[in-house]
């Protein structure tokens, strides 16, 4: 019975032409050297496992001290050969067994052992080294290389494969010091005609197994076959099985590593997101790790109240949160102090740095890290005043992700600006990666290894505790964000950005002018989302519900909720702070004709520099309502030359005589409260003998201008009444 099964297996194998001694794949050995279990090393072993080869892997040197020098900058790496030689000794007489050696921190396996072995056998070599386009470390040897008509010419020792006996003979052919260069060692053997023939050494010129990326980034493309990612070498039309981010190409490897080896696929999305994650139980707040929340306010920033509200709203036990508040903007002191007064003592501890302390940003960042250590934090969560965490679970989700550095993806709404860079130029500046737009638009969701994160991120305290990995915020004349990212890149500390879920957004401080009264109300262009949340009436969208019956207090006079109480109050403050109300006479130098037939006491939007914002408001929020109320009339954008706030009071101008407006339609927004802030007032439409007196703050009346809606402003008997008027499409 057993024999029959074996026979059938062999027969099937024979028919599909893949008969191979079964022991080949099992005997196949993969050696690598790693002295530290870095994130790059974890990525490597993950890829080996994903290709079913984890039992074939032998890791050399773990926990040992690296003596091979700084191979990024200088030659070195002889220690790799010495470790390999030692490990290979037991196989030195094995002429059948195939062994493969690769680096680990910057290597990813893409193909199965079977494919690798098949490819190797097709070379008809005893030993095959990977190849690259640079002759390193001794350029003068370039001319000694045999001619190649196609492919990369020079040997790279970051990956090679061969029969155990031959590989052993090579590594033991002479002694090498730990700090000597391993690539030079192998190169010399390869360039010796006699030895090359003796060991039958060949180079993988066309990346059939080994793809070295340095100098060859343009040769490769990330592609998908079915759901899975692979790389295609378009220069030589090959599909490499092992990719090596040598030299300057490691950031490209990091990007590819976001997809390769089943890290991410088209159907299931992010698979490596689930590696090493933990779950924090809602009902066990005592198990949550302690975080330091380090808030940095470095420049005047709009919507600070909302910023603090969102930090406060985070669903994370406050008994597990220390707070470090660094504010360097006197203008924001009030809001910071308000937050501290209201909520400060709910946190485990609180430390403040104020504008008066005269501490620069780098020092403040250092102090915050020291504070984290002093409080024995488990994580350091930095957040800039621009970062709004709309998702109340952000702290928790990022902790559960368990990465050294992880940022929530935050984007400026409607813009392509975010808190990460997908790629970087050689001189350290922004470059757009091919998947950048897909990530910020959430067409691809996942956890992305990227070369730059800023504004908001969680750093695990294990990194902070170690001098070699503690965050750095000063680096030449780079700004603190650039310095931080640059130092992490140099130390091979991965920075991840997550868009597995929505976390929040960035506000833009670019055109924020704190010299204005209520500067946030001016932010409709730069920060439309936040502006809308703060200033547009919460029932505004209800106007568009098809089931909604629009209120008409008088014939063809519509009444819509449009702005918040806050908007109304702030607009009045803007006007009163400006204070130059017109005198109510017919002479009006603000008008092109200099004459006003029906004068009011008012201030024009142009006078408080609010005209562009107001016209945009008309276009974005008023026009759609007009189209609902008066169907068939379509003017986009609406035009309006007269936009102003009117003030009625008994001792100034209490009322307005009957008149027509020179407009197609007029809007009239009540800015304060009838019966509370003033008495009397309202608007009477004479033709219908219909008055609206119980006006509601934040609600807008909309009525036709000429002909039908002859109207008057009713007398205010007490207090002050404010309304906002526009004559649209005069
Ligand atoms: C690597 O390990 C050594 C100790 O073996 C340690 O001193 C060093 O900080 C580690 N490097 C990193 C980047 O973790
Ligand atoms: C930091 O890392 C340690 C060890 O991996 C882990 O136990 C801890 O939960 C992490 N802390 C945070 C805040 O993520
Ligand atoms: C919005 O509408 C709901 C339901 O009619 C009402 O309860 C609520 O008070 C309205 N909001 C405001 C700000 O008027
Ligand atoms: C409108 O009313 C219908 C019937 O009452 C209801 O099924 C539908 O959900 C309502 N639509 C909205 C947007 O509320």
Q: Average model confidence (pLDDT) for the chain?
A: 94
Q: Kindly state whether residues 670 and 634 are assigned to the same domain.
A: yes
Sign of CA dihedral 371, 373, 377, 380: positive
Total count of domains within the chain: 3
> Nearest residue CA, atom 1 of ligand 4?
547
> Nearest residue CA, atom 5 of ligand 3?
539
Sign of CA dihedral 151, 155, 160, 162: positive
- Cβ–Cβ under 8 Å, residues 116 and 241: yes
Q: State the distance from the centre of ligand 3 to the C-alpha of 699, rounded, in angstroms.
A: 12
How confident is the model at residue 180, as a pLDDT? 94
Query: What CATH number is attached to the domain comprising 567?
Result: 2.60.120.620
Ligand 3 lining (C-beta closer than 6 Å) = 538-539
- Beta bridge partner(s), residue 659: 711
In a domain, 529, yes or no: no
Ligand found nearest the CA of 67: 1
**Number of Cβ atoms within 10 Å of the Cβ of 432:** 11
- Measured CA to CA, the distance from residue 77 to residue 401 in angstroms comes to 34
- Cβ–Cβ under 8 Å, residues 490 and 428: no
- Measured CA to CA, the distance from residue 246 to residue 451 in angstroms comes to 16
How confident is the model at residue 429, as a pLDDT? 85
Ligand 2 nearest atom to the CA of residue 461, by list position: 1
Q: Kindly state whether residues 262 and 294 are assigned to the same domain.
A: no
- Measured CA to CA, the distance from residue 659 to residue 639 in angstroms comes to 21
User: What is the rounded average pLDDT of the residues 503-528?
Assistant: 98
- Measured CA to CA, the distance from residue 168 to residue 89 in angstroms comes to 7
In a domain, 611, yes or no: yes
Q: Kindly state whether residues 300 and 238 are assigned to the same domain.
A: no
- Measured CA to CA, the distance from residue 234 to residue 338 in angstroms comes to 60
In a domain, 523, yes or no: no
- Cβ–Cβ under 8 Å, residues 478 and 360: no
Left if phi > 0, otherwise alpha if psi is -120 to 50, otherwise beta: which for 390? alpha
Q: Kindly state whether residues 203 and 258 are assigned to the same domain.
A: yes
In this model, does residue 141 exceed pLDDT 60?
A: yes
> Nearest residue CA, atom 1 of ligand 3?
539
Structure token pair of residue 711: 């109207």
Burial degree of 492 (CB within 10 A; 0-12, 13-18, 19+) = middle
Ligand found nearest the CA of 460: 2
- Measured CA to CA, the distance from residue 728 to residue 730 in angstroms comes to 6
Of 216, 245, 270, which residue sits at a domain end? 270
Structure token pair of residue 604: 């024009």
How confident is the model at residue 354, as a pLDDT? 98
> Nearest residue CA, atom 6 of ligand 2?
402
Q: State the distance from the centre of ligand 1 to the C-alpha of 35, rounded, in angstroms.
A: 8
> Nearest residue CA, atom 9 of ligand 2?
289
Of 460, 489, 506, which residue sits at a domain end? 506
The pLDDT-based confidence of 9 (bands split at 50, 70, 90) is very low
- Measured CA to CA, the distance from residue 435 to residue 227 in angstroms comes to 16
> Nearest residue CA, atom 14 of ligand 2?
399
In a domain, 449, yes or no: yes
Cβ of 289 less than 6 Å from ligand 2? yes
Query: What CATH number is attached to the domain comprising 388?
Result: 3.90.550.10
- Cβ–Cβ under 8 Å, residues 372 and 392: no
Q: Kindly state whether residues 134 and 187 are assigned to the same domain.
A: yes
pLDDT digits (tens, 9 = 90+) for 467-493: 999 999 999 999 999 999 999 999 999
| Percent of the chain whose predicted confidence (pLDDT) is above 90 | 86
Mutate to test the pocket of ligand 2, among 462, 466, 494, 498 (most ligand atoms within 8 A of CB): 462
Q: Kindly state whether residues 39 and 167 are assigned to the same domain.
A: yes
Ligand 4 nearest atom to the CA of residue 546, by list position: 13
Q: Kindly state whether residues 334 and 229 are assigned to the same domain.
A: no
Distances (CA, A) of 28 to 97, 465, 514, 526, 610: 6, 40, 68, 60, 74
- Measured CA to CA, the distance from residue 502 to residue 409 in angstroms comes to 8
Q: State the distance from the centre of ligand 1 to the C-alpha of 63, rounded, in angstroms.
A: 9
Q: Kindly state whether residues 54 and 176 are assigned to the same domain.
A: yes
Q: State the distance from the centre of ligand 1 to the C-alpha of 661, rounded, in angstroms.
A: 77
pLDDT digits (tens, 9 = 90+) for 518-571: 999 999 999 999 999 999 999 999 999 999 989 999 999 999 999 999 999 999
- Measured CA to CA, the distance from residue 220 to residue 236 in angstroms comes to 10
**DSSP, residue by residue, 317-341:** -GGGEEEEEEE--GGGHHHHHHHHH
How confident is the model at residue 10, as a pLDDT? 45
In a domain, 518, yes or no: no
Ligand 3 nearest atom to the CA of residue 561, by list position: 14
Q: Kindly state whether residues 494 and 364 are assigned to the same domain.
A: yes
> Nearest residue CA, atom 10 of ligand 3?
539
Q: State the distance from the centre of ligand 2 to the C-alpha of 357, rounded, in angstroms.
A: 33
Burial degree of 209 (CB within 10 A; 0-12, 13-18, 19+) = buried
In this model, does residue 123 exceed pLDDT 70?
A: yes
In this model, does residue 12 exceed pLDDT 70?
A: no
Q: State the distance from the centre of ligand 1 to the C-alpha of 495, rounded, in angstroms.
A: 18
> Nearest residue CA, atom 2 of ligand 1?
36
pLDDT digits (tens, 9 = 90+) for 70-86: 776 667 799 999 999 99
In this model, does residue 18 exceed pLDDT 60?
A: no
In a domain, 594, yes or no: yes
Three-state DSSP at 379 gives strand
Distances (CA, A) of 468 to 24, 43, 407, 464, 538: 42, 21, 21, 9, 51
> Nearest residue CA, atom 9 of ligand 4?
547
Q: Kindly state whether residues 110 and 259 are assigned to the same domain.
A: yes
Q: Kindly state whether residues 241 and 98 are assigned to the same domain.
A: yes
Q: Kindly state whether residues 455 and 547 are assigned to the same domain.
A: no
Of 220, 247, 270, which residue sits at a domain end? 270
Ligand found nearest the CA of 539: 3
Q: State the distance from the centre of ligand 3 to the C-alpha of 539, rounded, in angstroms.
A: 6
Q: State the distance from the centre of ligand 1 to the C-alpha of 225, rounded, in angstroms.
A: 38
In a domain, 530, yes or no: no
Ligand found nearest the CA of 698: 3
- Measured CA to CA, the distance from residue 699 to residue 673 in angstroms comes to 11
Ligand found nearest the CA of 63: 1
The DSSP call for residue 618 is I
Task: Show the domain range for 328.
Answer: 285-506
Ligand 1 nearest atom to the CA of residue 63, by list position: 5
- Cβ–Cβ under 8 Å, residues 678 and 716: yes
Ligand 1 lining (C-beta closer than 6 Å) = 36, 65, 466, 468-469
Ligand found nearest the CA of 403: 2
Distances (CA, A) of 286 to 289, 315, 650: 8, 14, 63
In this model, does residue 11 exceed pLDDT 50?
A: no
Ligand 4 lining (C-beta closer than 6 Å) = 545, 547
Q: State the distance from the centre of ligand 1 to the C-alpha of 37, rounded, in angstroms.
A: 9
In a domain, 517, yes or no: no
In this model, does residue 699 exceed pLDDT 50?
A: yes
Q: State the distance from the centre of ligand 1 to the C-alpha of 39, rounded, in angstroms.
A: 12
3-state DSSP percent of the chain in helix, strand and coil, to 5: 35, 25, 40
């Amino acid at each position: 019975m057993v024999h029959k099964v074996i026979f059938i297996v062999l027969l099937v194998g024979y028919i599909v032409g893949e008969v191979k001694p079964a022991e080949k794949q099992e005997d196949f050995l993969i050696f690598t050297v790693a002295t530290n279990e870095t994130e790059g090393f974890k990525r490597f072993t993950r890829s080996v496992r994903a290709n079913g080869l984890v039992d074939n892997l032998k890791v050399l040197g773990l926990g040992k001290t690296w003596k091979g020098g700084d191979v990024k900058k200088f030659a070195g790496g002889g220690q790799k050969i010495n470790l390999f030689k030692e490990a290979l000794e037991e196989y030195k007489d094995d002429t059948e067994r195939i062994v493969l050696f690769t680096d680990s921190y910057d290597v990813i396996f893409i193909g199965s052992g079977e494919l690798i072995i098949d490819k190797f056998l097709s070379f008809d070599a005893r030993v095959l080294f990977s190849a690259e386009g640079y002759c390193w470390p001794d350029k003068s040897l370039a001319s000694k290389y045999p001619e190649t008509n196609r492919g990369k010419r020079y040997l790279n020792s970051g990956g090679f494969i061969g029969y155990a006996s031959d590989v052993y003979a090579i590594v033991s052919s002479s002694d090498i010091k730990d700090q000597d260069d391993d690539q030079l060692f192998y190169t010399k053997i390869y360039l010796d005609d006699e030895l090359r023939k003796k060991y039958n050494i060949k180079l993988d010129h066309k990346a059939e197994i080994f793809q070295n990326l340095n100098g060859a980034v343009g040769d490769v493309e990330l592609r998908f076959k079915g759901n899975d990612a692979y790389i295609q070498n378009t220069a030589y039309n090959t599909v490499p099985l092992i990719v090596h981010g040598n030299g300057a190409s490691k950031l490209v490897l990091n990007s590819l590593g976001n997809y390769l080896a089943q890290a991410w696929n088209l159907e299931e999305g992010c698979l490596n997101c689930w590696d090493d994650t933990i779950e924090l139980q809602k009902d066990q707040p005592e198990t949550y790790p302690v975080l330091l929340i380090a808030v940095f306010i470095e420049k005047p920033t709009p919507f600070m109240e909302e910023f603090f509200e969102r930090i406060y709203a985070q669903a994370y036990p406050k008994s597990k949160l220390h707070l470090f508040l660094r504010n360097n903007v006197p203008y924001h002191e009030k809001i910071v102090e308000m937050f501290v007064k209201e909520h400060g003592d709910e946190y485990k501890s609180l430390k403040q740095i104020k504008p008066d302390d005269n501490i620069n940003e780098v020092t403040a960042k250092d102090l915050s890290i020291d504070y984290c250590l002093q409080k024995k934090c488990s994580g350091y969560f930095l957040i800039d005043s621009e970062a709004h965490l709309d998702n109340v679970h952000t702290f928790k989700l990022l902790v559960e992700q368990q990465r050294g550095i992880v940022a929530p993806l935050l984007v400026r709404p409607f813009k392509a600006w975010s808190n990460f860079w997908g790629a970087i130029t050689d001189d350290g500046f922004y470059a757009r990666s091919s998947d950048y737009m897909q990530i910020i638009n959430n067409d691809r969701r996942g956890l992305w290894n990227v070369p730059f994160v800023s504004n908001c991120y969680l750093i695990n305290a294990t990194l902070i505790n170690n001098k070699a990995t503690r965050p750095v915020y000063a680096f030449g004349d780079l700004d603190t964000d650039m310095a931080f990212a640059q130092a992490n890149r140099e130390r091979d500390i991965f920075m991840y950005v997550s868009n597995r879920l929505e976390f929040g957004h960035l506000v833009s401080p670019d055109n924020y002018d704190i010299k204005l009264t209520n500067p946030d109300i001016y932010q409709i262009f730069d920060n439309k989302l936040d502006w809308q949340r703060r200033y547009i009436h919460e029932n505004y969208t209800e106007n568009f519900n098809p089931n909604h019956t629009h209120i008409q207090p008088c014939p063809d006079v519509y009444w819509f909720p449009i702005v918040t109480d806050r908007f109304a109050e702030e607009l009045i403050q803007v006007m009163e702070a400006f204070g130059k109300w017109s005198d109510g006479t017919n002479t009006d130098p603000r008008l092109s004709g200099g004459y006003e037939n029906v004068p009011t006491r008012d201030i024009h939007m142009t006078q408080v520099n609010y005209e562009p914002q107001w016209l945009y408001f008309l276009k974005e929020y008023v026009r759609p309502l007009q189209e609902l109320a008066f169907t068939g009339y379509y003017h986009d954008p609406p035009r309006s030359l007269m936009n102003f706030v009117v003030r009625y009071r008994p001792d100034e101008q209490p009322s307005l005589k009957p008149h027509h407006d020179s407009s197609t339609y007029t809007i009239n927004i009540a800015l304060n409260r009838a019966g509370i802030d003033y008495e009397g007032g309202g608007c009477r439409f004479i033709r219908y003998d219909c008055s609206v007196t119980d006006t509601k703050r934040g609600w807008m009346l909309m009525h036709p201008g000429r002909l039908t809606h002859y109207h008057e402003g009713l007398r205010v008997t007490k207090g002050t009444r404010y309304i906002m008027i526009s004559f649209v499409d005069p």
